Amino acid sequence: MAAGYTQVTPATAYSVGQGYGWQPGNNAIGAVDTLSNGITNPDPNVTRDFNYTVGATFAVNVANGLYDVSLTVGDARGFGYSQAISFNGTATDTINTGGGMFPAVVTNTYVVAVNSGQLSVGLAAVSGSTYAVIDGLSFLPNMTPFAVSASSPANNGKVTGSLSQMPVTFNHPIGAGALTAANYTLSGPSGVVPVNGVSQINDETVSLAFAAALTSGAYSLVVGPGVTDATGASLATSTTINFTDVPYVPPTSFDFGAPKSPLAAGYTQVTAATAYNATQGYGWLSGTISTFDTGVTTYTTPAPNLTRDYAYTRFGSFGVNVADGTYAVTLILGDARAYSYTMNIFFQNGETPTDVVTTGGANPAVISKTYTVTVTNGQLDLGLTAGSDSYAVIDGLTIAPAN
C-alpha cells in the first residue's frame, strides 16, 4: 500500500461508522495488481494496482466546503479504458487512458463543492470501454479565493463581429449568485447594455446573453461581488473585463478546390460546400458545384497550390461582402492538365457576359485575368456559366481596391 493512503478493495463497503467506501447498489467491483512499478506519479504503489467496475460510486464523509480532489485512473500496463467521472451526481469529465493513444495512467485534479457532508465520486465505463478503473483518490481543502479565471473574449482581448453571448469561467463551482443577471454590468460605446439572462454551461462557467448583438467599439464587463460560488462565498472585489469588438472583414483572396487539397498561402479555402452566409461574408450563392485536384503543380503563378485544383460548374455564382466602391478583381481560371474549357464571366448579375474565356487546348491551361468591377450593393457577385464546353472552372479569386 502507498504510504499515506488508506487501502480500498472491492470489499470496502461504505458505512457511517467507517465514513468511506463503495456505495450500496453498485455494479460489481474487481481489482487487479499489474505488478508494474514504472509509473511513479503520484506513487508507484498507487499506480500498480486498481479497482475496476462498469459503474459504481465511492463516498467519503467530509465537512462541507470546497476541495481539490485528485483522481488517479488507468492501467499501468497500458490497456485502454475510457471512464466517465462525476462528483456528487454531476457529470464532470471523461478520461481516456492507455490503448496506445493516451497515457497509461492519468492524474487529474478538480475543484469540488461539498454541501451534504459527503464527497461522492462516480465512475462509469464509457460506451465502447469494458470498465472504468481507479487507482487512487486524494483531496485537500481548496484555499484559493473565489475569482474569475477566464472569459471569451479575454480581458484586454478582441472579438470580431457582432457578439450576443459571452462565457465567463470561475475558479470554483458556481452558486446561485453567479446565475443572477443583475450581478453583471456591461458598458459600451452607447452606454449600458442590458444582460438579459445567465445560463450555466458547466460547474464553473456561465454564459451571459445580451439584449442586443454588440456593435464595434470598446466594452467593459463588471462582474459584481454578488456573484457567489457553490459554498456561498462572494468575489473578494468586482472584476472588470475590458474588450474591443472589431468589425468582421471578409477575406479577399480565395483558393477554390477540393477539401483535402493543399491551400495556397494567404488564401481562404473555398470548396463545393462553402455556401454563402451573411456572418461568414462569402460563399456560393447558387449553382451545383464540384471540385477536382489535378495534382499538377507546374503552374507557379500565382501559386502551384492555387492552380493545381479548382471548382467547376455549369452555372454558379459566388458572392463576397465588400464596401461599395470600385475593385480590381482577378480570376485564375483553367485546368492545369490543359483540358479545354470555355466559360462566360459575369459580374453584379449582369445579363450579358463581361468576358468569355477559353483555357486549355490551343490556349494556356491556366489563365489569370483582371477586371474592374464597381459595387453599389455591398456585395461583389461573380457569375460563371459553361460555354461550348462542359464546365466553367475557377482556381482562384482576389479582390483589391482599383487604383
Residue 217 and residue 156 share a domain: yes
What pLDDT score does 176 carry? 95
Whole-model pTM: value is 0.66
Q: Is 234 a member of any domain?
A: yes
The tens digit of pLDDT for each residue in 65-114 reads 999 999 999 999 999 999 999 999 999 999 999 999 999 999 999 999 99
Average pLDDT over residues 23-46: 94
Check the CA dihedral 349-353-357-358 and report its sign.
positive
Dig out the grid coordinates for 307 from the structure.
Answer: 492552380
**Choice between 16 and 163, residue whose per-residue pLDDT is larger:** 16
What pLDDT score does 229 carry? 95
Task: With cut-offs at 50, 70 and 90, classify the pLDDT of residue 389.
Answer: low
What pLDDT score does 276 carry? 95
The total number of structural domains that make up the chain: 3
Whether the Cβ atoms of residue 379 and residue 319 lie closer than 8 Å to each other: yes
The CATH number of residue 172's host domain is 2.60.40.1220
Whether the Cβ atoms of residue 69 and residue 141 lie closer than 8 Å to each other: no
What pLDDT score does 388 carry? 75
The tens digit of pLDDT for each residue in 229-258 reads 999 999 988 999 999 998 878 889 999 999
The tens digit of pLDDT for each residue in 154-166 reads 999 998 877 899 9
Whether the Cβ atoms of residue 338 and residue 365 lie closer than 8 Å to each other: yes
Residue 269 and residue 163 share a domain: no
Task: With cut-offs at 50, 70 and 90, classify the pLDDT of residue 128.
Answer: confident
Domain that holds residue 200: 148-246
Hunting for cell 470546497 — which residue is that? 66
Q: Is 392 a member of any domain?
A: yes
Q: What count of Cα atoms within 13 Å lies in the side-chain half-sphere of residue 350?
A: 17
d(CA 166, CA 161): 13
Residue 302 and residue 229 share a domain: no
d(CA 368, CA 59): 71
What pLDDT score does 390 carry? 80
d(CA 250, CA 229): 41
Dig out the grid coordinates for 269 from the structure.
Answer: 479555402
Average pLDDT over residues 102-127: 96
Q: Is 121 a member of any domain?
A: yes
What pLDDT score does 89 carry? 93
Q: Tell me which of 121, 141, 161 is where a domain ends.
A: 141
Q: Is 113 a member of any domain?
A: yes
Q: Tell me which of 141, 172, 205 is where a domain ends.
A: 141
Whether the Cβ atoms of residue 186 and residue 154 lie closer than 8 Å to each other: no
Q: Tell me which of 141, 158, 193 is where a domain ends.
A: 141
Strands 157-160 and 239-246: parallel
The tens digit of pLDDT for each residue in 292-325 reads 999 999 999 899 999 999 999 999 999 999 989 9
Average pLDDT, the chain: 95
From the number of C-beta atoms within 10 Å of its C-beta (0-12, 13-18, 19+), residue 233 rates as middle
Q: What count of Cα atoms within 13 Å lies in the side-chain half-sphere of residue 362?
A: 0
Q: Is the pLDDT of residue 191 over 80?
A: yes
The CATH number of residue 277's host domain is 2.60.120.430
Residue 116 and residue 65 share a domain: yes
Element (H, E) at 90: strand 90-97
Q: Is the pLDDT of residue 140 over 90?
A: yes
What pLDDT score does 215 carry? 86
First to last CA, the chain: 79
- CA dihedral 384→387→389→390, nearest 10 degrees, is 40
Q: Is the pLDDT of residue 278 over 90?
A: no
Average pLDDT over residues 334-350: 95
Residue 282 and residue 217 share a domain: no
Ramachandran angles phi, psi of 44, nearest 5°: -60, -25
- CA dihedral 195→199→201→203, nearest 10 degrees, is 100
Q: Is 167 a member of any domain?
A: yes
d(CA 313, CA 391): 5
Q: Is 4 a member of any domain?
A: no
